[in-house]
A = this chain, B = another copy of it.
Amino acid sequence: MEEKHMALKTPQQFLETLRDNRVVYCDGERVPDVTKHPILKITNDWVAMDYVMSNDPKYRDLLTDVDADGDRVAFALQPQRTRDDLLRLREVVKLWARATFGKPSGAKFVAKDGLNAVTVVSRRVDKKYGTRYAANVEAYRKLLQKNDLAFAMGLTDVKGDRGLRPSQQVQHKDFYMRIVEEKPEGIIVSGAKAHISQVAACNEVLIAPCHAMREDDKAYAVAFGIPVNTKGITMISTEPEVHPGFDLLDHPITGSVYINDALITFENVFVPNERIFLKGEWEFAGDMAVMFANFHRLSAETYKAVELELVVGATALMAEYNGIEKKAHVRDKLTWLTMYAEMIETLGQAAVEHCIKEEDSDLVYPNPMIANICKYQFADNWHTATKYLQDIAGGIVATAPSAKDFFNPETRPLIEKYLAGRAGVSTEARLRMIKLVKDIGSSYEDVLTIHAEGSLEAQKLSIFQLADFDRYKAAAMRAAQIKNKKQHPLFANLPEFPPKL
């Protein structure tokens, strides 16, 4: 297909779209213009990297496609239909992640997986109830593509008491997004979604239920897409890790990637009919969450492997800068870290190579067993990885002076002299690496590692449910010489053993 029209926005065009009177708070203040805010700007620029790279001839072929109309659009917003599409998507995510220090720029990174989820589930609902959600979804996808919009995924409800279902909550009824009122031209919703990555730097937010519902919870079975500047929507930013005037040397990651997983609240917000993808069909709420997870695992697992490159690299460099890279315990830890990084890469890749064709659509997604194992291993081992990194980097990670001291001519000579490591390495390089190590081991990273893309317990539940116990039991029964009534195809026809010879 020949390119006729450029649907892609430039970074500047994108940033301009954020000046739309959205209601955003940050660190105690209402922000009149997010493009002018010293901290929110970090998020904006990071999200804008999507546009920087899409417009870069070096990456255009990987990152964009020309669609059926001849418009150049983001590949990430295309439906992925083949294993090769998924392999390409992995390359896209890796590029994003390598460009921005392990955390892919988020213009479409998370929500594209939500878009695929509503694509699948809307067809199922339409099939059962004769609704027209699938057409709404398709129109929404077009809108996003043709305008190259940045959009966020609003999945996780604030939940209140985790021991109670949505309709059982005590203090109020809005702990999960719900339909407050139905009107001819649309619905009124209230509720809040938490941890919504980069939402204040996006144009749209896509809302879907975060877990299965029962009939009582019908009002909570709701999905839609909506501009973030819609009346009634308030976004309250995550407490920033850095303060105005910070130096990037001190905060190499927290100062360049402020994901701003904001709290987004909806107080009686109107959603027009054409933007609705689910409205009370409670049996399908769980499908939304499951399908989002299925698709999102590719994104999650791909960037994590890239993030780990950086962790192994920081450890290797700190060892060298400190002059201890040949010590046996250091090599042992570097080996473990390499294994961790390459295992995550391999499992992420294998999940895609053994992908699953979704039945109700023409979409594909990574193998859930492998993908869940990949995520679990990543999250479960992270704290050990930071322990090793911190062990090798040294106590100075906790005690180094600030960049301002380093750049202060009164103290710089002392710091240059005394915080030097091995000869041949500049003190500045060592100090920069020390600060990177500090950022890698932050509470924020730890928590992100465990909770983003589902907790450890969620992965364990999935793995248990996907386990092929019939096969495992058949193997054990054969070895124990126990007759198995439930013959398993892999074992049913095997010759007798020990043989009669």
* A261 near B335: Cβ-Cβ < 8 Å: no
Q: Provide the A318-355 mask, 1 if CB < 8 A to any CB of B, else 0.
A: 00001110101101101100110111001101100110
Which listed residue, B350, B382, B394, B423, touches A171 by the CB 8 Å rule? B423
Asked if residues B475 and A310 are in contact (CB atoms below 8 Å), the reply is yes
The answer to whether A263 touches B418, judged by C-beta atoms less than 8 angstroms apart, is yes
CA separation between A490 and B95, bound complex, in Å? 9
9-residue interface stretch from A71-79, A141-149, A294-302, A463-471: A463-471
Is A132 in contact with chain B by the CB < 8 A criterion? no
The answer to whether B405 and A25 touch across the interface, beta carbons within 8 angstroms, is yes
Partner of A370, one of B101, B263, B342: B342
Chain B minimum-CB-distance residue to A461: B335
Contact (A401, B335) CB under 8 Å given A450-B387, A479-B252: no
Are the C-beta atoms of B398 and A480 separated by less than 8 Å?
no
Question: CB of A218 within 8 A of chain B?
Answer: no
Oligomeric state, in copies: 4
> Are A99 and B432 in contact (CB-based, < 8 A)?
no
Q: What's the tally of chain A residues with a CB closer than 8 Å to chain B?
A: 176
A501 at the interface (CB under 8 A from B): yes
A369: B residues at CB distance < 8 A:
342
The listed residue with most B CB atoms (<10 A of its CB), out of A156, A164, A171, A493, is: A171
- Judged by DSSP, the binding face of A is helix
**Residue-wise interface mask of A (395-411) relative to B, using a CB-CB cutoff of 8 A (1 in contact, 0 not):** 11111111111011011
Could you tell me if B391 and A236 are in contact, using CB atoms closer than 8 angstroms? Answer: no
19 new A-B contacts, CB < 8 A, other than A29-B408, A171-B420, A397-B447, are A98-B491, A161-B322, A162-B324, A175-B418, A192-B418, A236-B415, A252-B479, A262-B399, A265-B417, A310-B479, A316-B469, A328-B328, A331-B464, A346-B346, A390-B443, A391-B456, A395-B452, A397-B443, A437-B443
The answer to whether A174 and B248 have CB atoms under 8 Å apart is no
Cα A25 to Cα B450 in complex, Å, equals 38
- Is there an interface contact between A497 and B28, defined as CB atoms closer than 8 Å? no
Task: Tell me if A438 is interfacial: C-beta within 8 Å of chain B.
Answer: yes
Give the chain B neighbours of A455 by CB distance below 8 A.
391
**Out of B102, B164, B442, B481, which one reaches A475, CB within 8 Å?**
B102
Would B102 and A479 count as touching, CB distance under 8 A? yes
Residues on B with C-beta less than 8 A from A27 are: 402, 404-405
Inter-chain contacts of A463 with B (CB < 8 A)? 335, 338-339, 342
Chain B residues with CB under 8 Å of A171's CB are 417, 420, 423
Once A263-B401, A398-B451, A472-B312 are accepted as A-B contacts, the answer to whether A499 and B306 lie under 8 Å apart by CB is no
Establish whether residues B339 and A101, one from each chain, have CB atoms under 8 Å apart when the complex forms.
no
